[in-house]
Amino acid sequence: MRLLDHHFDGITMGDVVWHSRWETWVRLADTFRQGNVFLAGDAAHVHSTTGGQGMNCCMQDAFNLGWKLALVLKGYARPELLDTYEAERRPVAEQVIWAASSLHDIFMTHGKDIGQRTRTMFDPGYTEKVVNYCSGVAYTYRDYVQKPADLTELNGPAIGDRAPDLDFEQGGALFDRLRHEYFTLMAMPGDCDRAPVIERLQRRFSRVLAVETLPRSEALSKRYGATDGRLFCVRPDGYIGFKCSADEAHLLEATLEGVLTI
């Protein structure tokens, strides 16, 4: 109340009519899966509300697990796909816990020296790291999504990154084309002859693969690097599962074969 009196004119505090005690916990489950039981959301990880990411992270867990469960239950994917849930999501939970705890220490740890807390905020790279870890869209599964060792490295967003959205100059957004429950094979504009390759992939994986041939677009080149006929396979949760040039499409086919049963 004294703070309000000191800093704000014309605001007075009335009587507190309701209050509750709020406690915060920091917990992370050792494992997110045991047999057919999966932990997601607060059951798998809880932390301070500072940063406001708890629910977002919980929904991303569900988003990551949902399509994998659906494909395995339908018999379209191998059960090993389910192991990738913990491999991909537990590190994200660790990141969010670090960011939330670190912000909690700055904003809510009463009794700690204010100078020291302020200095932390000015540590080089601190703000960027904490914002990235808290933002909910900066997570990447780069280190966890399997890819062949002999795949050529290409510029632009990497395998395991969240596929970036963009507006086409011709109208419509890229995400409009990804709004379904399947993988999307995005064929980038280019002059190379990849029609037989795309046809083959479409035929083989027709039940789970939608093909989108994208128009030439400056926004697309900017967000996805040189496009020149490249193939991007976007997972149902919007993350890039694979990318290659058309002449390495056999590696994409082998990777899909490793995951899918059809």
Interacting residues with ligand FAD (CB under 6 A): 41-43, 49, 52-56, 58
Query: How near is the Cβ of 62 to ligand FAD at its closest, in Å?
Result: 8
Three-state SS at 233: strand
Angle between helix 114-121 and 83-107 (nearest 10): 130
Three-state SS at 218: helix
Query: How near is the Cβ of 128 to ligand FAD at its closest, in Å?
Result: 21
Cα–Cα distance measured from residue 185 to residue 199, given in angstroms and rounded to the nearest whole number: 11
Query: How near is the Cβ of 51 to ligand FAD at its closest, in Å?
Result: 8
**Residue closer to ligand FAD, measured from CB, 52 or 172:** 52
Burial 63-86 (b: 16+ CB within 10 A, else e): ebbebbeebbeeebbeeebbebbb
**Residue closer to ligand FAD, measured from CB, 51 or 157:** 51
Contact between residue 45 and residue 96 where contact means Cβ atoms under 8 Å apart: yes
Query: How near is the Cβ of 43 to ligand FAD at its closest, in Å?
Result: 6
Residue nearest to ligand FAD (CB): 41
**Residue closer to ligand FAD, measured from CB, 42 or 167:** 42
**Residue closer to ligand FAD, measured from CB, 54 or 157:** 54
**Residue closer to ligand FAD, measured from CB, 62 or 251:** 62
Contact between residue 50 and residue 107 where contact means Cβ atoms under 8 Å apart: yes
- CA 171, 175, 181, 187 dihedral sign is positive
**Residue closer to ligand FAD, measured from CB, 56 or 84:** 56
Query: How near is the Cβ of 70 to ligand FAD at its closest, in Å?
Result: 19
Task: Show Cβ contacts of residue 231 under 8 Å, excluding neighbours closer than 6 positions.
Answer: 185, 186, 187, 188, 194, 197, 198, 242, 243, 244, 245, 246, 249, 252
Three-state SS annotation for 38-50: ECCHHHCEECCCC
Angle between helix 195-204 and 249-259 (nearest 10): 10
Query: How near is the Cβ of 155 to ligand FAD at its closest, in Å?
Result: 33
**Residue closer to ligand FAD, measured from CB, 55 or 137:** 55
Query: How near is the Cβ of 65 to ligand FAD at its closest, in Å?
Result: 12
